[in-house]
Amino acid sequence: MGGAVTTLGIIGLGVISGQYLETLRRVSDVSIAAVADLDASRAESVAASIPGCRALTNAELLADPEIRMVLNLTIPAAHAEVALAAIAHGKDVFGEKPLAATFEDATRVIDAATAAGVRVGSAPDTVLGTGVQTARAVIDDGRIGQPVSASAMWVSAGHEAWHPHPDFYYRRGGGPMLDMGPYYVTSLVQLLGPVDAVSGAATRSRDERVIASGPRVGERIGVEVDTHLTGILHHTSGALSTVTMSFDGVRSTAAPIEVHGVDGSLVVPDPNRFDGEVRLHARGGGWQPVEPGAGYVDAGRGIGLIDFASGAARASGAIGLHVLEIMSALSASAASGRRETLTTTAERPTLVPLTPAEVWTAR
């Protein structure tokens, strides 16, 4: 991005870390100084692949004065603990989604950062790619008229079908809403603005899941969370969104996200990806593809951290907190049977101008 170099430490080197490393290696604005993982051999292996990088323990990394920002890629249940420790050491922190396992923990993180004068950023950053950003540009340009409604749908049979250690998906901080919901709900906030109330319903098809792959194949694990959630988001703008996230189906033919306005409808591509085709159906016409007009081109996980380090902070802790409250309130509404009013809000960040890879990776 052409600014000062940010010295970064990474805590947590699971599967998702590979995608971050692939992106971060493409830019010079961020220097990976150290990595840490509960598996010391994994940390040593990753550090050896990065020039000048050291393998440290969590405590050593957090205490290192050279490191100005921590990338928190731990499991959701550990997000708040690691973020609070980084903040206590005066470091900015950018974390994987969700911001924390609970809204209460996420609020503690944001309050601690404010008191310490450091910044918090949060995934998902897929919304900064050309898919969601182009769709947002279409809406902002008035091409569908006044937005009235949107729908978001994600259905699967559950991660135990492919993940060798799927336990955390079915424990506190897991479930389809906290796992996949951030991509969809963050996109809806990008497209239609913040939410002031929600109404939800939820079910749980069974209390056990059977691991289908890896060394634990056939092992049964307990289910502590709802595995099918649906709800209505009441946006401050007046638009209504319906959201369904499920580990209790198999597959859906529904578009990942659709947005409907008085003059047109819009199909938004998979928000778990950075790109994809945006399609517009204007009044009196037919479905037509929209050329990418906004967003980071050829982006990958980590672009949000790069954007955050540059000072733009479009993947901010404020948005992460608001999205987490939306998802938590949907579960609370499902349990109580009442509409839940939110206590947070978040401004829509500025649109990402169409930024070719050679620009954002410029050295």
Question: What is the chain's mean pLDDT, rounded?
Answer: 96
**Above 90 in pLDDT, residue 81?**
yes
Model confidence at 305: pLDDT above 80: yes
pLDDT value at residue 3: 59
- Residue span(s) of the chain under CATH 3.30.360.10 come to 130-293+317-341
- In 10 A of CB 349, how many CB atoms? 18
Name the pLDDT band for 363 (thresholds 50, 70, 90).
Answer: very low
Assign 3-class secondary structure to 59-126.
HHHHHCCCCCEEEECCCHHHHHHHHHHHHHCCCEEEECCCCCCCHHHHHHHHHHHHHHCCCEEECCCH
Mean pLDDT, residues 110-133 taken together = 98
Residue 122: C-alpha distances to residues 77, 80, 205 (Å): 15, 12, 31
Read off the pLDDT of each residue in 298-320 and give the average, rounded to a whole number. 95
Per-residue pLDDT band for 313 (boundaries 50, 70, 90) equals confident
Neighbour count for residue 4 (Cβ, 10 Å): 11
Fold held by 130-293+317-341: Dihydrodipicolinate Reductase; domain 2 (3.30.360)
Nearest to 166 by CA among 226, 209, 202, 225: 209
Q: How confident is the model at residue 327 (pLDDT cuts 50, 70, 90)?
A: very high
Question: What tokens appear for 83 in the block?
Answer: 């973020």
DSSP state, residue 91: -
Q: How many CB atoms lie within 10 A of CB 59?
A: 11
**Helices (H) then strands (E): counts for the chain:** 10, 17
What is the DSSP track for 108-144? HHHHHHHHHT--EEES--GGGBHHHHHHHHHHHTTTT
As given in the structure block, the two tokens for residue 33 are 């100084």
d(CA 319, CA 308): 13
Q: Are strands 340-341 and 195-203 parallel, antiparallel or unpaired?
A: antiparallel
Q: Is the pLDDT of residue 343 over 60?
A: yes
Name the CATH superfamily, with its identifier, for domain 6-125+354-360. NAD(P)-binding Rossmann-like Domain (3.40.50.720)
User: Average pLDDT of 77-93?
Assistant: 97
Query: What tokens were used for 322?
Result: 């608001």
How do residues 183-223 score in pLDDT, each as one tens digit?
999 999 999 999 999 999 999 999 999 999 999 999 999 99
| Tokens read off for 94 | 């950018």
DSSP state of 168: G
φ, ψ dihedrals at 258, nearest 5°: -125, 140
Q: How sure is the predictor about 173, in pLDDT bands with cuts at 50, 70 and 90? A: confident
Contacts of 349 (CB under 8 A, 6+ apart): 190, 312, 313, 314, 315, 316, 319
Does 4 have pLDDT greater than 80?
no
CA distance 321 to 199: 18
3-state secondary structure at position 190: helix
Kindly report, as residue ranges, where domains of CATH 3.40.50.720 are found in the chain.
6-125+354-360
210-260 per-position pLDDT tens digit: 999 999 999 999 999 999 999 999 999 999 999 999 999 999 999 999 999
Residues 180 and 252: their CA atoms lie apart, in Å, by: 15
**β-strand partners of 201:** 230
Q: How far is the C-alpha of 64 from the C-alpha of 46, rounded, in Å?
A: 18
Predicted local confidence at residue 107, as pLDDT: 98
Alpha-carbon distances, residue 90 vs 65, 84, 209, 225, 230 (angstroms): 9, 10, 41, 34, 39
High-pLDDT (> 70) share of the chain, %: 99
- Burial class from Cβ neighbours inside 10 Å (0-12, 13-18, 19+) for residue 80 reads buried
> Looking at this protein, which amino acid is placed at residue 290?
V
pLDDT band, residue 5 (cuts 50/70/90): confident
Per DSSP, the three-state class of 45 is helix
